[in-house]
Structure 1
Amino acid sequence: MTVPASLLLLEDDDILGRQTQRALARHGCQVHWATDLGAARRLLATLPALDAAVLDQNLGADNGLDLITPLLARFPECRVIVLTGYGSIAAAVAATRRGARNYLTKPADANDILDALSRDPGDLEALPDAPPSLQRLEWEHIQRVLDAHQGNISRAADALGIHRRTLQRRLKKRPSPKHFERD
């Protein structure tokens, strides 16, 4: 696992941001933390070098994916990963198309982050032999629709043809990884 010397952390949750900053610093990484897109852009302008970036995707009204292009324009060798609580295949594809090296769902600890930063993006793990379970497909579809409606539960529920409260209950009952495995 390669530890970057300098890392930008874009995380709007204060507790998670502080914990992640301390954990990465214990590994020897100098962490520059921003809580919103504007602060991150100002920070980018002042940094002389940047080896890696960990960007939260959902930042209130902002989207961490919007920082990938300007970040890579200033630091082309920077390794970027997107960290989000709303993981979906569509969002992962959008992140990698913009130049992100990897995409992680929360919770992710310092070792998960450093492993994702160290992993060669061309070194894909073997694809499973079996198709994903119905629960996994449903969850990913819900996440795509929610992402397409910028997280608006009411509009996403309308698009899915279900009641808003039903969608909220399904989101609270996120399937555990065992539900994603094939029997």
Structure 2
Amino acid sequence: MAEDEFAELGADRTLLLVDDDAPFVSRLARAMEKRGFLPETAESVAAGKAAAMARPPAYAVVDLRLEDGNGLDVVEALRERRPDCRVVVLTGYGAIATAVAAVKIGATDYLSKPADANDITNALLARGEMLPPPPENPMSADRVRWEHIQRVYELCDRNVSETARRLNMHRRTLQRILAKRSPK
């Protein structure tokens, strides 16, 4: 990376990486270090919140689903301690509802796994009205249905019975849908 590219990061290049996949977070830390960041890693919500409170970073990459809770709790802690922190939320369970929730509480962007270091760097450094290009493969009808169900589920505070009632579907059917991975 050239010296002028480091300048794009600004004076504070601190980066907090929160993910419970140890090999992934280790590889990502090395890759981000090569891009000029000063990474610190955490593998749980508790460790991520502790790091955010002790040493609030300029940048953060937070996994949505962690073993001890929801990564959005870390995003809230980061926003509390450092409102200008640029946060990217990563997840293997991409859903519109969780993306909206992440952005509402202050995430800069939301990426589905697998996301490489270049995608993450671009998301962290994106400024202004820069819009991403339109998708080459738009969502299928099954995916749109799944996204709608996930949105209603999040709006009902992840209450399966209430979600099933609002969607006018059987509770067990909804549970089976929620247990499956998202369609392509």
Cα offset for 1:51?
1.3
Deviations 1:15-59 (A, max 9, x none): 211111111112121111011111112222332x52101111111
Q: Which amino acid aligns with 1:124?
A: L
Unaligned runs of 5+ in 2: none
Counterpart check, 1:7 vs 2:15: yes
**Structure 1 counterpart of 2:36:** 28
Distance 1:165 1:38, change over 3 A: closer
Report the residue type matching 2:35 in the other structure: H
Q: SS at the partner of 2:16? A: strand
Which residue is 1:46 aligned to? 54
**Which residue of 62, 81, 102 corresponds with 1:95?**
102
- Scaled by the length of structure 1, the TM-score of the pair is 0.75
Distance (Å, rounded) in 2 between the aligned partners of 1:163 and 1:38: 31
Work out the number of aligned pairs and report it: 167
List aligned pairs for 1:1-183, cutoff 5 A: 2-3=8-9, 5-47=13-55, 50-120=57-127, 122-125=129-132, 133-144=140-151, 155=160, 159=164, 161=170, 162=173, 168=179, 170-171=180-181, 174-175=183-184
Contact 2:16–2:61 under 8 Å retained in 1: yes
Per-residue CA deviation, residues 114-144 of structure 1 (Å, 9 max, x unaligned), is: 111112364334768xx95412302313443
User: 1:86 & 1:151 partners in 2: Cα distance?
Assistant: 15
Amino acid of the residue matched to residue 15 of structure 1? P
C-alpha offsets along residues 82-128 of structure 1, whole Å, 9 cap, x if unaligned? 11111111111111110111000001111000111112364334768
Q: Matched residues in 1 for 2:20 and 2:128: separation?
A: 26
Distance 2:110 2:157 in 1: 19
Q: Give the share of equivalent positions with the same residue, in percent.
A: 40
Counterpart secondary structure, 2:49:
helix
Q: Is the 8 A contact 1:86 1:143 kept in 2?
A: no
Contact (CA 8 Å) 1:5, 1:51: kept in 2 or not?
yes
8 Å CA contact 2:88, 2:110 repeated in 1: yes
Letter of the 1:60 partner, please give it.
Answer: E
CA displacement 1:134-172 (0-9 Å, x = unmatched): 1230231344366568889xx58x93532866765x52x
- Provide the secondary structure at the position in 1 that maps to 2:87: strand
Paired residue secondary structure (1:9): strand
Q: TM-score, normalised by structure 2?
A: 0.75
